[in-house]
Amino acid sequence: MIKPQIRKDILARGKPEPKNVPWWGEPNLGGWYTEAEIDAAVRAIRKSNDWSTGFGPNAKEIEKFENAFAAYCGTRYAIAINSCGTGLDMAIRCLDLAPGDEVISPAVNYKAAHLAIVGQGGKVVFCDIDSRTLNLDPEDVEKRITRHTRAIFPVHMNGLPAPMDELLDIAGRHPHPRYGPLKVIGDAARACGATYKGAKVGSQGWLTAFSFYSSKLMTTLGEGGMITTNDPAVAERLRNIRQFGGEDEWGSNYKMTKVQAAVGLVQLNRLDEMNRRRREAAQRRCKILSGTAELILPYEPPNCEHLYYVYSILVQPDWAGEKRDKIIAIMSEKFGIVCSISNPPTYLRWPYIAEKCGVPRLAVSDDVGRRLLCPPLHPLLTEEQELYICASLLEAIDMIKAGA
């Protein structure tokens, strides 16, 4: 907790640098670069500057990055691609969905997963979540399985691994009549490097897609992605889809560039350090905010390592909706701190998803959507910046209590 007088002093000093830009709930750069990334990029460009070499094809850097990523996650295969969004499209394509086939996915999510299902002609079956973890609730998943269910599609929400053992158990106990055990496909855009019961996210399930977009835990020059799998047949198929379908498959161009892969290798080597700093920043915030009656701080189950891709707070139920929105407005307008809401149910946030997938109104998801509040977190936040963020949040709460 910050004592009221100290909070007043922090806020009286004003916003620390950088003053004149908003501090976003999801900062635009998730990690950071060192000279090593810059050197790697320059080397890769220099190596390509020859008409007999160029930037491709089959650059060694890409193969090295894939092998290193597979070894890091503990999987047999890793396929480098140009984004996680396209990776999710590719993953769902590999299900070969027929009309009416269903894929179960949590409503509290980014829209990429649901767009991928819609894009491949499948039916999104929204499931509810556990409000403590913001991950999908296995009991609710099991209730939604029908003979049309083809896959379970968890997102490792905000850096916390989904309950994979429970999901794999459910998938095995409810085989599809034609395709066998349900496939489990993970969206790990926000969870690169997270661990679940000692195993890296991406080592379990059929396929897992990662994002290296600028704001993510590591980035390959602003865009990029990876898919991991232990299944050799689907690994080969994904490589074909990535490169115009190989000989006998549909495909397009989803490739990562050689320069991105060279930078990705350096970022991967530094990922654990960046994630450690991020966890330390989150733990420092938990200490500062602990004991604030109006807030429920992020939960880390004992067997998981949460990476706090965003720092997700729930306000207490009597602060849901308008009062939560007021906290966000005061923090933004008065203090220049922009909290994200990561994420309300996709059917409430995006009209296109509502139109295509329906609006089931799931009790926990809807409630969480009215109570979430994610102040900016970055591994490099200084103590001064951190105290300012926390002070502005506590001040906003007190202003509302005083009638603001």
- The binding site for ligand PLP (CB under 6 A) comprises 83-85, 110, 112, 155, 187, 189-190, 211, 213, 225
Our CB check for ligand PLP shows the closer of 140 and 187 to be 187
Our CB check for ligand PLP shows the closer of 83 and 385 to be 83
At its nearest, how many Å lie between ligand PLP and the CB of residue 187?
A: 5
Our CB check for ligand PLP shows the closer of 156 and 285 to be 156
Our CB check for ligand PLP shows the closer of 191 and 400 to be 191
Phi, psi of 287, rounded to the nearest 5 degrees: -65, -45
Which residues, in sequence order, are CB contacts of 7 under 8 Å at separation 6+? 391, 394, 395
At its nearest, how many Å lie between ligand PLP and the CB of residue 35?
A: 25
At its nearest, how many Å lie between ligand PLP and the CB of residue 293?
A: 31
At its nearest, how many Å lie between ligand PLP and the CB of residue 156?
A: 8
3-state secondary structure 254-294: CCCCHHHHHHHHHHHHHHHHHHHHHHHHHHHHHHHHCCCCC
Classified as helix, coil or strand, 385 is helix
At its nearest, how many Å lie between ligand PLP and the CB of residue 213?
A: 4
Our CB check for ligand PLP shows the closer of 48 and 214 to be 214
Our CB check for ligand PLP shows the closer of 69 and 110 to be 110
Torsion region of 205: left, alpha or beta (phi above 0 gives left; psi -120 to 50 gives alpha) = left
User: Which tokens belong to 333?
Assistant: 């307008």
Which residues, in sequence order, are CB contacts of 231 under 8 Å at separation 6+? 77, 206, 207
At its nearest, how many Å lie between ligand PLP and the CB of residue 294?
A: 27
Helix axes 322-335, 383-401, angle to 10 degrees: 130
Indicate the length of the chain as a whole number: 404
Report the residue number whose CB is nearest to ligand PLP.
Answer: 85
**Alpha-carbon distance 87 to 31, whole Å?**
21
Our CB check for ligand PLP shows the closer of 72 and 213 to be 213
With beta carbons less than 8 A apart as the criterion, state whether 279 and 308 touch: yes
At its nearest, how many Å lie between ligand PLP and the CB of residue 87?
A: 7
Our CB check for ligand PLP shows the closer of 123 and 216 to be 216
With beta carbons less than 8 A apart as the criterion, state whether 259 and 41 touch: yes
Our CB check for ligand PLP shows the closer of 214 and 230 to be 214
Q: Which residue is associated with the tokens 């491949």?
A: 120
Question: Residue 296 half-sphere exposure, CB side, CA atoms within 13 Å?
Answer: 17
At its nearest, how many Å lie between ligand PLP and the CB of residue 377?
A: 15
At its nearest, how many Å lie between ligand PLP and the CB of residue 85?
A: 3
**Alpha-carbon distance 274 to 257, whole Å?**
23
Residue 13 CA from chain centroid, whole number: 34
H/E run at residue 399: helix 383-401
